[in-house]
Structure 1
Amino acid sequence: MPGPEESPAGDTLPDPAPLYVLVTGYGPFSTYEVNPSWLAVKPLHDTSLRTLDASARPIHITALEVPVTYTDVLSLTPGFHSRPPVLPAPPNEPTSASSRPPAHGFDFVLHVGVAGSGPMRAEKRGRKVGYNSPDAEGRLCPAIPTDGDGDEGARNATPSPGVLHRFARSLYAYLKSPTRGFGKGYEDFPEELFTKVNTEGLLQYLKETGFTQIVPSTDAGLYLCEFINYCSLAEAKRAAPKNESGKATPTLFLHCPPVDQPLSTQDVTAVLQKVVSWVCSQ
């Protein structure tokens, strides 16, 4: 790791102002008592890297485990992008000065989750609706109210007897199944949001440094991984006017495979370090 620069007189110059990065992994769900994404993210907590450019600017990393629930994503994610950020206190772990959330906000937010076996995936897109699977606690994503929800006349109409009526009611219930996703507070956001991180440049850099087990993706699965991706992209956009630059904080979601399918936890952690250094160098 490069050290501080020296002045022409031989004096050591102070480090440039550090950058701060938040990396999240997901908690237990389904058959995963420990989520492979958190296994790879946890070693990064309270560590430092350097940017790849000549300034070798310090990068301080904070890692956070997020429960696999819609409620937790909705309650926690806005705090990731507030200034200063608001994070839950890690249980039974002291917080050092370098890992405390910076007053100006994080400079990069990276989310990691687990997918199927195969290469890692850099997710470009987050979708607003379509989250129909229950989370780790068996709860469904909030339903989005529609104009037809107030149609009391249709719901309270006097039923006519017979099989045809029962079939019609079943069909009506199916057609009226609620749309689930981002509703109140997200009305002004589009149906799709895309990362501003140059994923093509990032993947090219990773390949040039010897890592080829990663591909771009525009389908993050419409589960909690895509849910936090859309939520974080939206909250970054919402917070942008409060940024000194007026731009949204770079936000990216990466999928990793289960352990050793084919990448080890150490492999994924090393790639995450490369991703953080490269994005912060841009």
Structure 2
Amino acid sequence: MEVVPPKDVHGSSAQLVLVTGFGPFRKYLTNPSWTAVQELRELGLREGVRLEIAELPVVYQRARQLVSGMWATQRPQLAVHVGVATGARTIILEQCAKNHGYKDCDITGRTPEGHCCVEGGPEKIESLLNMRTISKKLATMDVDIIYSRDAGRYLCDFVYYLSLFHGDGRACFIHVPEAIAGCGLRTLGKTLQMIILEMLQQLPTVSSLAECCPRAHVGQ
């Protein structure tokens, strides 16, 4: 995993937001999700928020190690994972992730043991963040933003589940299109910036609720 340090140095009290994109796979020699994340880093977020970015390989076992290690060592206030949605024309905010059904091979030709993320884990975990609310609030953006409850059964959904599991729901997943008609990379970066800022607005409230009801985000 390539970890890129933040451009601006903040005090130790700054919130840490860790944003990941994916490395090459299939036809993508450069993954559009990683390009979008790098653009976001150029823009930054806001004062008092420390932004770090990391590139995850499209490999189940390595991704598992890196995501669990990220939460154990860096302990971000929020983890935002970005992946490419082939054929999509909009940005998609994913609300939840599933534990089972990972039968498609990664770039090494392997699948996770038992085709699942966490043996014995809940079948579904919801993000503490309300993606439907965010998509509606940002409906006037230059790029269309929609809400989804199915992130697929590949590395995107796999990484999302692991991050929700280890981060107690303080994670989100954003699918970006390969290209947005009429909009450039800077527009995509600014849209990601606005989405994450909205998530940070929600975070204090939902984190307080999670402390009172720690299993409220776990699906059955």
Q: TM-score, normalised by structure 1?
A: 0.63
After superposition, give the CA deviation of every residue in 1:179-207 in whole Å (9 maximum; x if it has no partner).
x1124xx42x2101111111122112212
In 2: Cα distance, 1:280 partner to 1:63 partner = 17
Q: 228, 234, 240: which one pairs with 2:159?
A: 228
In 2: Cα distance, 1:269 partner to 1:45 partner = 8
Q: 252, 257, 269: which one pairs with 2:172?
A: 252
**What SS is found at the alignment partner of 1:140?**
coil
* Aligned 1:75-90 pairs, distance under 5 A: 75-82=65-72, 84-85=73-74
Report the counterpart of residue 123 of structure 2 in structure 1. 191
In 2: Cα distance, 1:16 partner to 1:137 partner = 39
CA RMSD in angstroms, aligned pairs only: 2.1
* Aligned 1:1-12 pairs, distance under 5 A: none
In 1: Cα distance, 2:182 partner to 2:23 partner = 21
Report the counterpart of residue 264 of structure 1 in structure 2. 184
In 2: Cα distance, 1:263 partner to 1:197 partner = 27
Provide the identity percentage: 30
Change (3 A) 1:110 1:262: farther
Q: 64, 83, 98: which one pairs with 1:113?
A: 83
**What SS is found at the alignment partner of 1:61?**
strand
The Cα of 1:261 is off from its aligned counterpart by 5.3
The Cα of 1:258 is off from its aligned counterpart by 0.6
Report the counterpart of residue 117 of structure 2 in structure 1. 182
Q: TM-score, normalised by structure 2?
A: 0.79
Does structure 1 residue 139 correspond to structure 2 residue 104? no
Q: 51, 66, 70: which one pairs with 1:61?
A: 51
Unaligned runs of 5+ in 1: 1-14, 51-56, 86-104, 145-179, 238-247
Change (3 A) 1:48 1:262: closer
The Cα of 1:262 is off from its aligned counterpart by 6.6
Tell me if the contact between 1:20 and 1:108 (Cα under 8 Å) persists in the aligned partners.
yes
In 2: Cα distance, 1:262 partner to 1:112 partner = 21
Write 1 or 2 for the structure with the bigger share of strand. 2
The Cα of 1:232 is off from its aligned counterpart by 0.7
Tell me if the contact between 1:36 and 1:265 (Cα under 8 Å) persists in the aligned partners.
no
After superposition, give the CA deviation of every residue in 1:6-49 in whole Å (9 maximum; x if it has no partner).
xxxxxxxxx99421100000000000000000000013347642
Change (3 A) 1:202 1:130: same
Larger Rg: 1
**What SS is found at the alignment partner of 1:65?**
strand
In 2: Cα distance, 1:136 partner to 1:271 partner = 29
Does structure 1 residue 123 correspond to structure 2 residue 94? yes
